[in-house]
Homo-oligomer: A and B are copies of this chain.
Amino acid sequence: MTGVRAAVLAAYHQPLEIREFPAPEPGLGEALVRVRMAGICGTDVHLWKGELPVPLPVILGHETAGVIESLGDGLTVDWRGDPLRPGDRVTWASSIACGECFHCRVTRQPTRCFTRKAYGISYCCDESPHLRGGYAERILLRRGTSIFKLPDSLPDLAVVGAGCALATAIHGTQHAPVRWGESVVIQGSGPVGQAALAVARQSGAGRIIMIGGPEHRLAISREFGADVTIPVEGTTVEQRRQRVMEETRYGADAVVECVGHPDAVNEGIELCRDGGRFLVLGQYANAGNISFNPHLITRKQLHIQGSWGFEPRHVDAALRMLELGPWRERFSAQVTHRYPLEQAHEALMTVKDWRSGKAVIEP
**Residues of A in contact with B (beta carbons under 8 Å apart):** 77, 79-81, 100-103, 105-109, 111-112, 175, 177, 179-181, 199, 202-204, 206, 249-250, 262, 265, 273-275, 280-308, 312-313, 316-317, 320-321, 324
Shortest beta-carbon distance, A167 to chain B, in Å?
Answer: 13
**Which chain B positions have C-beta within 8 A of A283?**
294-295, 297-299
Identify which of B111, B294, B308 contacts A280 (C-beta below 8 A): B294
Say whether A294 contacts B206, CB under 8 Å: no
Q: A262-B293, A293-B288, A304-B297 are in contact. Are A320 and B206 (CB under 8 A)?
A: yes
Say whether A320 contacts B181, CB under 8 Å: yes
Say whether A306 contacts B313, CB under 8 Å: no
Shortest beta-carbon distance, A287 to chain B, in Å?
Answer: 7
Identify which of B287, B291, B295 contacts A286 (C-beta below 8 A): B295
* Count of chain copies: 4
Shortest beta-carbon distance, A94 to chain B, in Å?
Answer: 17
Identify which of B81, B111, B177, B282 contacts A301 (C-beta below 8 A): B111
Complex CA gap A180/B304 in Å reads 22
A98 nearest in chain B by CB position: B81
Say whether B273 contacts A298, CB under 8 Å: no
**Which chain B positions have C-beta within 8 A of A280?**
294, 297-298
Q: A105-B313, A275-B112 are in contact. Are A204 and B206 (CB under 8 A)?
A: no
Shortest beta-carbon distance, A298 to chain B, in Å?
Answer: 4
Say whether B206 contacts A324, CB under 8 Å: yes
Say whether B286 contacts A293, CB under 8 Å: yes
Complex CA gap A179/B181 in Å reads 13
Say whether B285 contacts A102, CB under 8 Å: no
A273 nearest in chain B by CB position: B107
Complex CA gap A181/B314 in Å reads 12
**Which chain B positions have C-beta within 8 A of A284?**
295, 298-299
Shortest beta-carbon distance, A248 to chain B, in Å?
Answer: 11
Say whether B294 contacts A300, CB under 8 Å: no
Say whether B275 contacts A180, CB under 8 Å: no
**Which chain B positions have C-beta within 8 A of A312?**
105
Q: List 23 A-B contacts (CB under 8 A).
A: A80-B105, A80-B106, A81-B101, A103-B275, A108-B313, A111-B301, A112-B274, A181-B320, A181-B321, A181-B324, A203-B203, A206-B324, A262-B293, A262-B295, A265-B297, A281-B298, A284-B299, A285-B295, A290-B292, A291-B292, A297-B304, A297-B305, A303-B304
